[in-house]
Structure 1
């Protein structure tokens, strides 16, 4: 314990010294620059060099101005009740007791593939309770022992003093980074000095943060073994990109639509092999291929595995689950929805989500507008697609928009895809929604993709005559065969 306190004291002194050094240099430079016009005015008339020095000093002072950030207001997340998950509370409290942590524990279920511990303090700075956040995918992917290593890791940060020092380091890093950003490309070349110092500070503070992660990993391995600790690290690294994409594009989207969908079942469907939507693929790849730099606060997976098991490389252990700690899959999902959601949401299966939620809301969205499928039929798609870059003024959102030309194009395209879906709904098509995959609508043996229809229309490969066949109801004689799926129909002679 004395060694930990000594390390914490050393880290705190080092960060404070670096922080003071940054501002000492900045204030000294401001004073030196102002001294030039001052001496010129005092001894002789002010000349051009004095004016430039004064402008540079005020520019630097503006970049160094204090920045007070308002605390973001967020929905109050209610802790998991003890009677909802007595086994999980017992597990967390036993780990806390083994590390001589006596504070009251409140567990919160979070959506991210991560965990945290946040101390709640009174006005004297004394800890009243510890908020322990545990991610849903941890419960569905880790064994009980592996989850224990994650919890022990977070308690390692607490007993090591990292939670008291960490927020201060973060704010200091943000303050210096903002100053360097404001001085970037300064005409007075002031940014060169501070950019060098800022990078040095970020490099030192990042190394401190990485050492904290190694220490917390070591504590977890000591408590529950290297095998479980290593497996937990590898599994979280494995599932995080997929879960983050699922959270952003599927679960979060369903919540915005007011739908309460089965969370874990949706993730299993999302992970099944198949052709995913382009934006989903891009999100997963961006997360998987994120380049590590010397300024990262966390070590790489390979470095952490090496520290726990010298000579080993990361592997892919089989997934497990410990949902029994929270009463099972359904009870865990119910507890998570109950913990934060204050709006009324409709419980719906993934099989019914496409029809009951997406199709229904799409139809309501365009009803009564100039894009109402009763007024603007699908055969108008080629004309709309030819004007996709000029529809912004008609379809733009309310208020000021800062979207780039490409962002505007994507916004208009998304509206047109929803409109195509509303049109096909009007013609008796049914939306089969598969998490992560392109939206497909079916009618009898015909399968149509709104996105593919739009892309073909933008490329001038669809005619109004071809699209008219889909406007006919199944009971109406068709002017052309409508039994071929869109993948083959788009290559037929029916194209313009």
Structure 2
């Protein structure tokens, strides 16, 4: 579909909203006329009042003068003087695409690239353009792949997509506003009716009578009916506009392949979902590891560590790139499935552009380290920026795990405190086990219906997994409390615990993990034996 037809569709969809509103207003007016013509005074007046209340959200939605602007995305604006190489690439791709260069580049903290435009008069006249580039995206892409990404985004400029978005967004916002107003009014009617019925029920109870059940099912029905009409049109609107958006993505992909090459475009499309998944994992497992303890990695490493993770886990990434995600399709998706986009590009004829600009895109920045540090100031909230910085990732891991273990409260902790009436320490647990009261303690754990009904060996098998995890946590917490527990940091695998005297990951193999698990299993066996577990504990811990 060409730009002209897409513009016509967007305009028709927007006009459809106003036509629907006019039809509903006409229906309400017709109802008022019928009420005054055939109805009695009080009934007619009530109908008019209701119709006016229903018409207010419709009129307000129709005469929304401007589309509300959301808060700007946090990031670093980069003038051309500060980043000449990045701007040179941006200008070069814009010239190849035959389109106007963005007026502003903003570096963000997301694995994403996007363009936007603020056209005037609903897209009839062009306006300022912005290019948003995620620094994590630059971290994982080559320069050739970044060129393909920019070419894709410029495809939205040349196709008129960014100018048409003003029409589409306005319609979405107006529909959402009207639907939200009707639901808000319906909720208000329900709340008022509930309060009235509850007050009446309280009076009946005070008089010694049985209170009636609160029933608000009939409240706000007319408001919800009006909301339902607009919701039905909103579904049609979204399906049609998002279908156009998917076509725009395909067209932008073809533009990227033409300007940056087939292979670079296909590899960029394969890389972006891999980088997105890797970045989510990095944030969850590394960058935000110390937030609960009020800790941050060294300055610049909150975003800078992502590149180290990608380097260390390159073998895993190779496999992920070869396995395109097969996403379920929906008529409400704004983008086509990435697998379909890649297949379309890779089906194009070879163009011989396979060895272009393989250097890292992040190297286009004048001082990547400075940018990574400045991005923290722009993206992280002030409360987080005030956290203590650790000297390195190993210290961050140790301090974060120690803080987590010191505040750990497992189901076993709570059951042990209730069972003994004392603080839930490992020493107290070992005494309970040695006294033969382990399974009595287990009965105080939160149990499923099946576990609570089980007896003997069946009961022990039900509760043993929960007990095993909790006892292991208590052992590690005991070591940590005496500063005898350390964790070995790794970019390529999960953190490994280092117990006193057991040496490093390379020397210990599966030693400490296997020994600890065997000792815990012995303590939780049908015939418990705490000796292996006590043998692992240092003297200071045993005498606590």
Which residue of the other structure, out of 311, 324, 329, is the alignment partner of 1:292?
329
- Specify the alignment match of 2:235 in structure 1: 199
Which residue of the other structure, out of 21, 25, 30, is the alignment partner of 2:20?
25
User: Matched residue of 2:329: which SS?
Assistant: coil
Indicate if the aligned counterparts of 1:431 and 1:442 stay in contact, CA closer than 8 A.
yes
Aligned partners of 1:209 and 1:77: how far apart in 2? 26
Aligned partners of 1:119 and 1:107: how far apart in 2? 12
Aligned partners of 2:25 and 2:88: how far apart in 1? 57
User: Matched residue of 1:133: which SS?
Assistant: strand
- Specify the alignment match of 2:92 in structure 1: 94
- Specify the alignment match of 1:301 in structure 2: 338
Indicate if the aligned counterparts of 1:180 and 1:194 stay in contact, CA closer than 8 A.
yes
Taking structure 1 as the reference length, the TM-score comes to 0.64
Indicate if the aligned counterparts of 2:119 and 2:166 stay in contact, CA closer than 8 A.
no
- Specify the alignment match of 1:259 in structure 2: 297
| Structure 2 CA distance for partners of 1:108 and 1:43, relative to 1, 3 Å | closer
Aligned partners of 1:93 and 1:204: how far apart in 2? 34
- Specify the alignment match of 2:539 in structure 1: 475
| Structure 2 CA distance for partners of 1:347 and 1:30, relative to 1, 3 Å | same
| Structure 2 CA distance for partners of 1:151 and 1:326, relative to 1, 3 Å | same
Indicate if the aligned counterparts of 2:140 and 2:310 stay in contact, CA closer than 8 A.
no
Aligned partners of 2:108 and 2:378: how far apart in 1? 9
Aligned partners of 2:253 and 2:245: how far apart in 1? 13
Which residue of the other structure, out of 1, 8, 11, is the alignment partner of 2:6?
11
User: Matched residue of 1:296: which SS?
Assistant: coil
User: Matched residue of 1:134: which SS?
Assistant: strand
- Specify the alignment match of 1:377 in structure 2: 425
User: Matched residue of 1:294: which SS?
Assistant: coil
Structure 1 position 419, deviation (Å):
9.2
User: Matched residue of 1:231: which SS?
Assistant: helix
User: Matched residue of 2:132: which SS?
Assistant: strand
Larger Rg: 2
Q: Count the aligned residue pairs.
A: 423
User: Matched residue of 2:107: which SS?
Assistant: strand
User: Matched residue of 2:31: which SS?
Assistant: helix
Indicate if the aligned counterparts of 2:57 and 2:178 stay in contact, CA closer than 8 A.
no
Greater helix fraction, Structure 1 or Structure 2: 2
Structure 1 position 25, deviation (Å):
1.7
User: Matched residue of 1:158: which SS?
Assistant: helix
Q: Deviations over 1:387-444 (max 9, x none)?
A: 779xxxxxxxxxxxxxxxxxxxxxxxxxx99999765421322244557977664322
- Specify the alignment match of 2:498 in structure 1: 442
- Specify the alignment match of 2:34 in structure 1: 39
Aligned partners of 1:380 and 1:251: how far apart in 2? 36
RMSD: 5.5
Aligned partners of 2:443 and 2:284: how far apart in 1? 28
Indicate if the aligned counterparts of 1:431 and 1:439 stay in contact, CA closer than 8 A.
yes
User: Matched residue of 2:115: which SS?
Assistant: strand
Which residue of the other structure, out of 253, 273, 277, is the alignment partner of 1:241?
277
Which residue of the other structure, out of 389, 397, 400, is the alignment partner of 1:354?
397
| Structure 2 CA distance for partners of 1:249 and 1:177, relative to 1, 3 Å | farther
Q: Within 5 Å, which residues of 2 pair with 1:263-412? A: 263-268=306-311, 291-310=328-347, 321-326=360-365, 330=369, 333-334=372-373, 336-337=375-376, 340=379, 343-344=385-386, 346=389, 348-359=391-402, 377-378=425-426
Q: Within 5 Å, which residues of 2 pair with 1:125-144? A: 130-144=129-143
> Unpaired segments of 5 or more residues in structure 2?
187-216, 317-323, 430-437, 448-470, 503-510
Q: Deviations over 1:51-90 (max 9, x none)?
A: 6897588457558865999766568532246576433222
- Specify the alignment match of 1:114 in structure 2: 112
User: Matched residue of 1:138: which SS?
Assistant: helix
Q: Deviations over 1:455-478 (max 9, x none)?
A: x9xxx9999996996799623485
- Specify the alignment match of 1:148 in structure 2: 147
Indicate if the aligned counterparts of 1:259 and 1:357 stay in contact, CA closer than 8 A.
no
Indicate if the aligned counterparts of 2:140 and 2:360 stay in contact, CA closer than 8 A.
yes
Structure 1 position 28, deviation (Å):
2.1
Aligned partners of 1:204 and 1:293: how far apart in 2? 12
Aligned partners of 1:128 and 1:339: how far apart in 2? 26
User: Matched residue of 2:77: which SS?
Assistant: coil
User: Matched residue of 1:29: which SS?
Assistant: helix
Which residue of the other structure, out of 204, 209, 223, is the alignment partner of 2:245?
209
